[in-house]
Amino acid sequence: MAGRPEHLFPLFGDLTKLPGVGEKTAQNLASMAIEKPRDLLFTLPQSGIDRTPVATIRGQLLPKVLTVEVEVGLHVPPKSRGRPYHVHVHDAETEFRLVFFHARTDYLQKTLPTGQRRVISGKAEMFDHMAQIAHPDHMVPLAKAGEIPSFEPVYPLTHGVTQRVMQKAARGVLELAPDLAEWIDPSQKSQADWPDWKAAVEAAHTPQSMADLSPTSRARERLAYDELFAHQLTLSLARARTRAKPGRQTTGTGALQQKILAALPYAPTGAQTRAIAEIAANMGAATRMNRLLQGDVGAGKTLVAFMALLIAVEAGGQGVLMAPTEILARQHLESLEPLARDAGVRLDILTGRDKAADRAEKLAALKSGDLQVLVGTHAVFQRDVDFHDLRISVIDEQHRFGVNQRMELSGKGQVVDVLVMTATPIPRSLALAQYGDMDVSVLDEKPPGRKPITTAVVPTARLDEVVAKLRGAIAEDRQAYWVCPLVEESEVSDKIAAEERFKALRAALGEGVVGLVHGQMPVADKDAAMAKFVAGETKVLVATTVIEVGVNVPNATIMVIERAETFGMAQLHQLRGRVGRGEAQSTCLMLYQAPLSETARRRLDIMRETEDGFRISEEDLAIRGAGDLIGTAQSGLPRFRIADLERQTALLEIAQTDARKLLSDDPTLEGPRGEAARALLWLMEQDRAIRLISIG
């Protein structure tokens, strides 16, 4: 793709070319991520000041910004240092005064000559029973009254940058903005009644009323859409590129899948059946699969993933399931073993801990094709691991991979279909923004037989009752988790908190009943403590959040979360999902330290009301915002200047549909609208998209 279009050059030039911006101001603006004129163009006013003239300040509700014509009266210089300078003025009905601190007398007498008429604009307030305006923003002769805007935009500021500087620079940057050809679908544009790009930018910087500052104003909505559309176009290009690589058609016979379905004690949910069908269709197509399987805790992702692996085996190939940690890989192995037995398929695990002889045997079985399904950690991607015919790679716990790693993971030489599973329900808007390059299957139903979990919110003051409840449960041979809070940031104090709770519970419940795991323990000790709990030797497991992803102990029916108000909602939801896996009724007790903040109370109330992870994630997004929800540093989320992911999901969905349609109509972006879209990608600095087109 040719370089940046010439008509965009001025927007990517030097900031100091803008009126009123010198080297120092340019340095200060950089702290607001404004490094070139284009960045300033997309930094919109955040509020405004109504300066519509009034005849008199009498009867106005003060304090308020007012613009009024006055006759200048008496000047009263300060009687002593540090006192203010007063100028008495009279509007159509009443007298008030203008107040100046550290004023230069000669300047004030020249600007406000007694007996002359002036237009004054500034914030009026009452002081000592008299109205006054301190340091008016504007003081001009009648002939220049037109220079005061009737509605003045207010920009975000940083140290060393004033409103005047921002307003002047913004006016300068509007003059650099070229007319651009339209990249929005014509029917979408007319339906939404959006202005052209240049008109939208001008309107956004020159609001005429508060309504023009709203995200739903036509100009702002259009500019937000442009950002979302450029981002979705980038993701769609990545998706098209994955799909353009020839895939292999992997069509199952259904024989092994039938064996599993016949052995299951219940029928799969509608959502599971639908997801399996979507995956089978993808695998059977000539293009590569790149699909995200999103499911809530306990929605039955394991079954869906195993069916996908079986399609590969039925077609004479192999499948691999990768987990981020060894503990999780072993758990997948345990949950898949009974299914593999029912299907008559050879399954094994490969991790960094295999002894040389075992490893050699497994590698040989993989190479010959005898080993059909492999579970493992990233160790499966080492050089010496050769598959006979790898068809599908299932990756667990997506959020640790960004788009770029997803592209690398389809490696191992073959054209492998990729299915990524995540147990973190992601709000629709974030899923679109983060995984727009993938197709998505959602498991939003619980399998039959999962009993709802009773959730209670209890103040720490009632800790003794909670311990008594545990004693009763242990007497009935049930098990419990006790999760300790994250104390500050230091891991040392987490360890102390967990150890102290462990000692207290051991004293209350008896020796040998309570186990302990925390992040500071050697891996072998941690595994041993987990194994004892899984085997039922210990009845209560005291833990820091290391148990959040993973362990499956059907006999554990109580989850106690201490200082629940210190955890995020997604974490609370994941922790609660560790119980309720067996036949018995389960309980989650969220202990909190009173008094609770408004937000903390709202979070715990939502947790008590619902077990639907998607609803919880939407609420969490509303409370915390997109950046916090997934940790902006590693979120892979774009940073938008105008668009708001939380509130403009509908726009994002339209942008995705339109981006995909544009690419299917014009894959190389060479038609008139495609050319315009290329200019948009340059304007929005979507370098990755630009590279994809040039390689394309």
Note the CATH architecture for domain 215-450+642-665: 3-Layer(aba) Sandwich (3.40)
Q: Mean pLDDT in the chain?
A: 85
Give the H or E element holding residue 517. Answer: strand 514-517
**Position 199 confidence tier, pLDDT thresholds 50, 70, 90:** very high
Question: Model pTM greater than 0.75?
Answer: no
Q: 3-state class of 335 per DSSP?
A: helix
Q: What is the pLDDT of residues 419-443, one digit of tens each?
A: 988 877 777 667 777 777 778 888 8
pLDDT at 194 over 70: yes
8 Å CB contact between 637 and 434: yes
AA letter at 26: A
List of E strands, 309-425: 318-322, 347-350, 373-376, 390-396, 417-422
The Cβ of residue 313 has, within 10 Å, a number of other Cβ atoms equal to 27
According to the model, what pLDDT value does residue 107 have? 92
439, 292 contact by CB (below 8 A): yes
Written as six digits, the tokens of 601 are 């109370």
Identify which of 432, 450, 455 has the alpha carbon closest to the alpha carbon of residue 616: 455
Contact 74, 51 (CB under 8 A): no
Residue 261 CA to residue 650 CA, distance in Å, equals 38
Please name the residue that has the structure tokens 């691991």.
385
**What's the average model confidence in pLDDT over 579-589?**
83
Bridge-partner residues for 655, per DSSP? none
What is the gyration radius of the CA atoms in the chain, in angstroms? 33
HSE-CB for 114 with a 13 A CA cutoff: 8
User: What length is written for the chain?
Assistant: 696
DSSP 554: T
Q: What are the DSSP calls for 125-182, one per residue? A: EEETTEEEEES-SEEEEGGGGGGS-SEEEE----TT--HHHHHHHHHHHHHHPPP---
Using a 10 angstrom Cβ sphere, with 0-12 exposed, 13-18 middle and 19 or more buried, the burial of residue 311 is: buried
The answer to whether domain 215-450+642-665 and domain 454-610 are alike in fold is: yes
Which candidate, 508, 435, 528, 494, places its Cα nearest to that of 465?
A: 508
The tokens of 555 are what?
Answer: 């006999």
Q: Is the pLDDT of residue 135 over 80?
A: yes
Residue 410: predicted pLDDT: 52
Per the CB < 8 A criterion, the answer to whether 616 and 607 are in contact is yes
What is the CA angle 79-84-88, rounded to 5?
95
Write the CB contacts of 46 (distance below 8 Å, at least 6 apart in sequence): 154, 155, 156, 213
Q: 523-534 burial string, b = 16+ CB within 10 Å, else e?
A: eeebeebbeebb
pLDDT top residue among 151 and 246: 151
3-state secondary structure labels for all residues of 180-245:
CCCCCCHHHHHHHCCCCHHHHHHHHHCCCCHHHHCCCCHHHHHHHHHHHHHHHHHHHHHHHHHHHC
Work out the pLDDT band at 286, boundaries 50, 70, 90.
confident
Instruction: Give mean pLDDT, residues 20-44.
Output: 92
CA-nearest of 220, 227, 232 to 194 is 220
DSSP reduced 3-state for 312: helix
Residue whose entry in the numeric block shows the structure tokens 């995020």: 568
Asked whether 481 and 558 are in contact (CB, 8 A), the reply is yes
Find, among 399, 436, 430, the residue nearest to 290 by Cα.
436
- Where along the chain do its domains lie? 52-148, 215-450+642-665, 454-610
Cα distance between residue 495 and residue 191, in whole Å: 59
Furthest CA-CA distance within the chain: 103
CATH architecture of 454-610: 3-Layer(aba) Sandwich (3.40)
Among 45-49, 146-150, 223-227, 626-630, where is mean pLDDT lowest? 626-630
Assigned token pair, 401? 């991979």
Tokens 């192995």 sit at which residue?
Answer: 333
At residue 401, does pLDDT exceed 70? no
Q: Kindly indicate the confidence band of residue 112, based on its pLDDT and cuts at 50, 70 and 90.
A: very high
Residue 625 and residue 647: Cα distance in Å, rounded? 10
**pLDDT above 90: residue 352:** no
Confidence of residue 625 (pLDDT cuts 50, 70, 90): low
Shortest CA distance to 319 belongs to which of 255, 395, 429?
A: 395
Burial of 245 (0-12, 13-18, 19+ CB in 10 A): exposed
Query: What CATH number has the domain spanning 52-148?
Result: 2.40.50.140
**Over the stretch 368-378, which tens digit does the pLDDT of each residue have?**
999 999 998 87
Percentage of residues in the chain having pLDDT higher than 70: 90
Number of helices (H) and strands (E) in the chain: give both, helices first.
24, 22
Distances (CA, A) of 651 to 46, 181, 221, 433, 638: 21, 21, 9, 11, 15
- pLDDT for 94: 93
- The residue behind tokens 């305006």 is 133
Using a 10 angstrom Cβ sphere, with 0-12 exposed, 13-18 middle and 19 or more buried, the burial of residue 294 is buried
Give me the helix-helix angle, 428-435 and 613-624, nearest 10°: 80
What's the rounded Cα separation, in Å, for the pair 291 and 299? 17
Q: What is the pLDDT of residue 632?
A: 38
